[in-house]
Structure 1
Amino acid sequence: MQGAEVDPTWRGGAVSERAECVLCPNPSPMTLDGTNTWVLGEPGGDEAVVVDPGPLDEGHLAAVLARVQATGRRVALTLLTHGHDDHAESADRWHELTGAPVRAFGRGHDDVRPGEHIEVGGLELVAVATPGHTSDSYSFVLPAETTLLTGDTVLGRGTTVVAWPDGVLEQYLESLARIERLTGAGDVTRLLPGHGPVVADAAATVAFYLRHRVERLDQVRAAVESGAATAREVVETVYADVARSVWPAAELSVRAQLDYLREHEQPT
């Protein structure tokens, strides 16, 4: 889960001819190196898409705007992968600075639709509903580069939290399976996460995430069978090797796992 140490080698920057990361200076056990704000644009185009402007940090917003302007573009659209503050708190302020519409799923924004093709300045994106981490989580395929921007659904390092009660494990597993189908079809080969470095092997990473969830469910089931009576007691057993600073987040995932087990493994 989130809580891996900061990687000093990941500082953001250009990762392809269409994508550049401006790394927000908000590192923490839950945000890893900080929030990745992605600036996307078609080569030769004069419009940019910004994904996840991040927390309300005026210095970061100024840095993102400077990078867009340095490419000779203007911000034409902002997309949010989900509504957590470290990704979306600055959305209203960013709209004030750029005048660009902000789109997301719910939370008062212009709703993105599953499978929607979004075209800005020649750049094409496809919206993929990936709830589970949160109920409003979306990812975005960049078809020209067989790349998926994943927000917190898949991270650049470690694994993510199912943020119960808004996050639901069954939905999260379905979202991972949806991404796995994209990798199997060759539509996605690389991931641009909301935290941590670029994931070069999307298929292997998603397969790992799915295995990890199965293993965690087995561990939670075993802990309950051994007498753990509360989510906290399960955390103390299953996440004993994880830094205590992220135990509160681990407890959210455990609550989601317990809900899943209660729903799917009722005694007959």
Structure 2
Amino acid sequence: MTLQHPAYAQLRQVTPVAAVMLENNPSMYALEGTNTWILRTPGNDECIVVDPGDDDPAHLARVAGAGTVVLTLISHRHHDHTGGIDRFFDLTGAPVHAVQEQLRRGGGAGLENDELIEAAGLTLRVLRTPGHTADSVSFVIEDEGSVLTADTILGRGTTVLDASDGNLGDYLQSMRTLIGLGAGRMVLPGHGPELPDLESVAKRYLAHREERLSQIRGALDTLGADADVRAVVEHVYTDIDETLWPAAEQSVRVQLEYLRR
């Protein structure tokens, strides 16, 4: 039987190149858990790993045991994607590339927009897609056209913008960048199931953000220009369960900064 998401502790082949190992670390922000992506050409033991995940010894050992890891890539700084870097580096010895220098290991380099990375017989193109965090990147698998979007686009729901360094203007531009890649590209997200068409999902995300921004403008008209984050959340986010309001507060804070700037 073909594995379906969520399939914990099992290597699930999603495309000819990309397989996923789902970490058992579910949360409000991580959905069912972190997707660790293992990329390789058919029949090749060498692989690239994208986002080893949190510091879960069993998960990291399973990922390391899935093949000969020659390179590790980090999509962004959040701990559910990076907490296991040191343990994973000890297991594999593979260099770790990341935007932030403090996340690099083993002589790993930074990640520049439009940079081509060649390893394990594959070619990946880096796209800087900030907004969720300032250091967020996506990876285009040039060999097949699918795109690893990390937390910039999720497999279900919408992305929370981190109030510490997220930026709505950047995020809207990142959606336009992803739309510009064209139709028919599979989404390989950081959390949740894969999706069949990046262009349509990115357009939906862009429309959703613009709709929320309009709703927040309306809330400020009603509540006053100096309304605080919680008041705006309670006014706007009546369509989601209140248990999700803390996550909504993160995004609202970023959107208010955008409007007030």
Normalization by structure 1: what TM-score?
0.89
What is the identity, as a one-letter code, of the residue corresponding to 2:141? Answer: L
Q: Could you say what secondary structure the match of 1:124 adopts?
A: strand
1:130-169 matches, within 5 Å, as 130-169=129-168
1:21–1:39 Cα contact (<8 Å) kept: yes
CA distance in 2 between counterparts of 1:76 and 1:10 reads: 27
Does residue 192 (structure 1) correspond to residue 188 (structure 2)? The answer is yes
CA distance in 1 between counterparts of 2:19 and 2:135 reads: 24
Q: Could you say what secondary structure the match of 2:256 adopts?
A: helix
What is the identity, as a one-letter code, of the residue corresponding to 2:84? Answer: S
- Cα deviation code 1:34-73 (max 9, x no counterpart): 10000001123331100000000001111212323xxxxx
The count of residues paired between Structure 1 and Structure 2 equals 248
Aligned partner of 1:209 in structure 2 is 205
Aligned partner of 1:43 in structure 2 is 42
C-alpha change, 1:119 and 1:26, in structure 2 (3 Å) is same
What is the identity, as a one-letter code, of the residue corresponding to 2:118? Answer: E
| Deviation of the 1:9 alpha carbon | 4.5
| Deviation of the 1:226 alpha carbon | 0.6
**Among 54, 70, 75, the residue aligned to 1:76:** 70
Identity %: 47
CA RMSD of aligned residues (A): 1.4
CA distance in 2 between counterparts of 1:139 and 1:85 reads: 17
Residue segments in structure 2 that go unaligned for 5+ positions in a row? none
- Cα deviation code 1:207-252 (max 9, x no counterpart): 1000000100011111111115101100111112222332222111
1:30–1:246 Cα contact (<8 Å) kept: no
Q: Could you say what secondary structure the match of 1:13 adopts?
A: strand
Comparing 251-260 and 238-247, the one that deviates more:
238-247
Q: Could you say what secondary structure the match of 2:24 adopts?
A: coil
Normalization by structure 2: what TM-score?
0.91
C-alpha change, 1:9 and 1:55, in structure 2 (3 Å) is closer
1:140–1:148 Cα contact (<8 Å) kept: yes
CA distance in 1 between counterparts of 2:41 and 2:126 reads: 17
Q: Runs in 1 of length 4+ with deviation above 4 angstroms?
A: none
Does residue 223 (structure 1) correspond to residue 222 (structure 2)? The answer is no
CA distance in 1 between counterparts of 2:62 and 2:243 reads: 30
Q: Could you say what secondary structure the match of 1:192 adopts?
A: strand
2:180–2:199 Cα contact (<8 Å) kept: no
Does residue 97 (structure 1) correspond to residue 95 (structure 2)? The answer is no
| Deviation of the 1:122 alpha carbon | 1.2
1:163–1:249 Cα contact (<8 Å) kept: no
